Amino acid sequence: MTEATCKREIELEIPAENVQKAAEKVARDIARVARIPGFRPGKAPVTLVRRRFADDIQGEVVQSLVPEYLEKELDAKKLVPVTRPEVDHVHFKEGEPLRFRAVFEVLPEFELGDYKDLQVQVDEIEIGDAQVEKAIEDLRERAATYVPVEGRAAADGDYVLIKVTGTPASGGDPVQADNILCHIGGEETLESFTQNLRGAQPGETKRFESRYPDDFPDPKLAGKTYDYSVDVQSIKEKKLPELNDEFAKEAAGAQGGVETLEELRKKIRENLEAAKAEQQEAQAREKILEKLVKQHDFPVPEALIEHQIDVRLERVVRSLASQGVDPRAVNVDWVALRNRQRERAVDDVKAELLLDRVATAEKIDASEEDVEKEIAALAEHSGESATALRARLTKQGALDRIKSKLRSDKTVAWLYRTSRIEKTAASEKVISDSGSSAR
């Protein structure tokens, strides 16, 4: 074993007399039920049973004695495996001690270094008139209407209502879509659609080939070439609502409490400020964990790293599934993707181990009240009753995981409160859309 790993090996020897006693007991148990030609059940000599069922007896003895002696040795050495020990190099011979090796991993031993009064920097995010006006323009875009254009062909800036049938050039099932608004010349529009629909008239059918970039957002289309048949149904222009008090009331919605355009601007500014604070706090918490990990150098159990990689890949699979994409049909090098997750997975595991140490040092724990609140929130989201959800989580053995996560979250919150957060010079960071809505 090297100091750079969490791997441990134990070689054990079980006394021959103990092995003999265990083998005799197993043989007697088998003899009571064994059916051997020429003997009534339970009447065959034990010596014959031991010869006939030697492999079965050996297997039973190993399964009964190895866990017992291994557990005693782990307790004596105060070792707590994080994985189920793998037993190999088993030496079993009649009249001799039973020898075997157990290989497993344990949590690393390390000294908890500085974690109080950490100093991190977060990006300053400017919230001024320009950001407020951009948010208002976004609201106008969402409230835009599309009016028909008569007497001319489609031009840049127009929206063409089309019916699309596409056949993969490499073969496969065709794709079809009706009532699609294609923005001619728009950044989001493939150049092949813009080129072939520019100048089109309602009633025309356009046929052309389109190749999607390898990094196209929809994984079902990325890197593929399609032969399209496009029926032009109508041409439309986008009309933005006038910027007035009526627009402000409609944009804010029934719960907005807004009557004028100035009130809308004020509400948007408040929302942007709130989003800014949330974004900066999230960034600070992430940087605190990064700094904590960098300040501590210790090995991490491979089993925990592999588990964390699995968690990360499961998120990718769920994300694809939520988009209606079969992960098995996606052209992804899963082995390479798994390898790319390793470094982040190591940091994730280190962060959790460090948070556990900090929580222990600061006596931070998740109370039963914390767990009840979390279950209530989960129940409200899932539509189950809190009682039914708790029963299901208990049956699944998930309550301990929830409590552990709550403890980690509380520890991160404590680190955030006790750290010094400095803001860098203003940058052009973008606030998420949720901050720009007045709803």
Q: What pLDDT band is residue 165 in, cutting at 50, 70 and 90?
A: very high
Q: What is the pLDDT of residues 25-42, one digit of tens each?
A: 888 877 776 667 667 666
pLDDT at 87: 93
- Tell me which of 3.10.50.40, 3.10.129.10, 2.40.50.140, 3.50.50.60 is the CATH number of domain 145-239: 3.10.50.40
Domain residues of the chain, as ranges? 7-105, 145-239, 279-436
Q: What is the pLDDT of residues 242-294, one digit of tens each?
A: 999 999 999 888 667 889 999 999 999 999 999 999 999 999 999 999 999 99
Each residue of 355-376: pLDDT tens digit? 999 999 999 999 999 999 999 9
Output the pLDDT for position 428.
Answer: 43
Residue-wise pLDDT for 216-252, tens only, equals: 888 778 888 999 999 999 999 999 999 999 999 998 8
Residue partners of 302: CB distance under 8 A and separation at least 6:
5, 6, 7, 105
**pLDDT average, residue stretch 194-223:** 91
Flag the least confident range among 193-202, 289-298, 383-392.
383-392
CATH 1.10.3120.10 fits 279-436, yes or no: yes
Is pTM beyond 0.85? Reply is: no
* Tens digits of residue pLDDT in 332-352: 788 898 999 999 999 999 999
Checking if the pLDDT of 390 tops 70, the result is yes
pLDDT at 180: 93
CATH architecture of 7-105: 2-Layer Sandwich (3.30)
